[in-house]
Amino acid sequence: MDEVSTEFLAYIIGIIILIIFYIIKLPRIGANEPPLVPYTIPILGHTYNYFFNARNFFKKCKEQYGECFSIYVFGRVMTIVSRSSLNEVFINHKDFKLSLSEFLPFDMLFENISDFDKVTQLNAKLVKEITGKIDSYTSIMQKYLLEGIDKFIGDCKDPKEFLSIWELMNHIIALPMANIIVGEEVASHEDVNDTLEFYTSQPDFDYSNPKIFHYYIDVLFVLIFGSVGTTSEIITNGIFDLAGRPECLNELYEEAMIIDKECNGSITLPDVQKMKKLDSFVKEVLRHSDDTLKFLHKVTSESFTFSNGYTVPKGRRVNLYMDDVLKSKDAYGDDAEEFKPFRFVNANSSASKVDRNYAVFGGGKHACPGRFFAIHEIKLILHKLILKYNIKTKSGKIENKKYIGPISLPPKKALIFENRK
């Protein structure tokens, strides 16, 4: 064979391989499934829009294809579930499984754990026990939060600029978390000495068996890992939301001063409950977390049929259109898109209350059991920061979050902290 025909043959083989690959990867949609949004570029499907145009793309898809629809990303079909059906994913826990391992290599991080469901249930039980005694933890939380604020932010008589706010908040809240869960302080408080005891009193716990011992250490890390990251992200968003809105910061400062005077600087649970404006602000911060999609799940049962009649098969990735819930005009009114810090003050709707229009903590039986703890801690740290500092964005503007496709992260911009006079 001469050189030209060899080259020609290579082209033909290449094209055949591409066609076979395309046919193999062609999404197959069964009867009764949500409609697949059409796409023009084979193999790539909707991946570009998913990454670079998420907000508008999903808005348009919902307008055209309705409540549930499927898209083709990363060579696989993903079903998107909007407001009216979204809660069904949380409620039907046995049919759907949260698919965190698609983002984080959990198996590598926690190699002593094989059954994450079992660990989650154990930790959920522990967190419910801790929540029942949240008042006992308030003084420890307060002590270590103040220590963290002093250590990592300190005296800002001369204004100080901070760049990595999320990292800063992680450092500050790790202190109270670690001291509540494993610190020496815990041992001296009889009331609150039950966290480690909870693990050590499990029927299979055995100090002398390294395998079991390491398993429980991993279980503890899963709890710390899950609780610190989520809480500090919301605190960081909250600080940016305050720093860009001086009038809101001033109003919260006034509330904080009244409460601080009443309790003489030593906060208890009832004092945190009195922080109505701060609670409303925190709820608005959570509502504006700004993830278009969140909480990717996988269908674990043979198939699942939503109450709207659509069926999704086993293994299907189901992502939740959170923006559709949290910015719903039906639920929040025509100004749903606006950040209104005090919109919940007289609404009898606290930041930790689970509601199908406020799905930030999930829903149903498995809704986040740590939400009371998280909101308590978020309010406590914001209260202390608001009392101590005037906080501004360096730019003088409200800073935008960072977006990675449909996921949002806190802004990565500079903030200025200055002591209050």
Confirm if 222 and 255 have CB atoms less than 8 A apart.
no
* Footprint on residues 126-145 left by ligand HEM (CB under 6 A): 127
String marking each residue 335-364 x if it binds ligand HEM according to CB under 6 A: -------------------------xxxx-
- Residue 326 as a binder of ligand HEM (CB under 6 A): the answer is no
- Residue 181 as a binder of ligand HEM (CB under 6 A): the answer is no
CB-wise, 191 or 335, nearer to ligand HEM? Answer: 191
Q: C-alpha distances in angstroms, 271 versus 33, 37, 266, 374?
A: 50, 51, 9, 16
Handedness of CA 329, 333, 335, 336 (dihedral sign): negative
Using DSSP's 3-state secondary structure scheme, residue 253 falls into helix
Considering only 65, 90, 110, 144, the residue that binds ligand HEM (CB under 6 A) is 90
Query: Whole-number minimum distance, CB 261 to ligand HEM, in Å?
Result: 29
d(CA 391, CA 306): 46
Confirm if 79 and 316 have CB atoms less than 8 A apart.
yes
Bridge partners of 391, per DSSP, are 417
- Residue 235 as a binder of ligand HEM (CB under 6 A): the answer is no
d(CA 341, CA 129): 31
d(CA 337, CA 359): 16
CB-wise, 374 or 391, nearer to ligand HEM? Answer: 374
**368 is known to lie in a ligand binding site:** yes
* Footprint on residues 99-128 left by ligand HEM (CB under 6 A): 120, 123-124, 127
* Tokens representing residue 157 in the block: 């008589």
Q: What are phi and psi of 97, to 5 degrees?
A: -125, 135
CB-wise, 120 or 349, nearer to ligand HEM? Answer: 120
Stretch that binds ligand HEM, among 201-209, 249-257, 368-376, 402-410 (CB under 6 A): 368-376
Stretch that binds ligand HEM, among 106-114, 300-308, 340-348, 370-378 (CB under 6 A): 370-378
CB-wise, 27 or 226, nearer to ligand HEM? Answer: 226
Helix (H) or strand (E) holding 160: strand 160-162
Size of the site for ligand HEM (CB under 6 A): 23
Helix (H) or strand (E) holding 231: helix 210-243
Confirm if 81 and 319 have CB atoms less than 8 A apart.
yes
Mutual angle of helices 371-388 and 210-243, in 10-degree steps:
50
- Residue 176 as a binder of ligand HEM (CB under 6 A): the answer is no
Considering only 234, 242, 320, 351, the residue that binds ligand HEM (CB under 6 A) is 234
- Residue 183 as a binder of ligand HEM (CB under 6 A): the answer is no
Helix (H) or strand (E) holding 136: helix 134-152
CB-wise, 181 or 414, nearer to ligand HEM? Answer: 181
Residue positions forming the annotated binding site: 368
Residue positions forming the annotated binding site for heme: 368
Site for ligand HEM, rule CB under 6 A: 90, 98, 120, 123-124, 127, 226-227, 230-231, 234, 295, 360-363, 366-370, 373-374
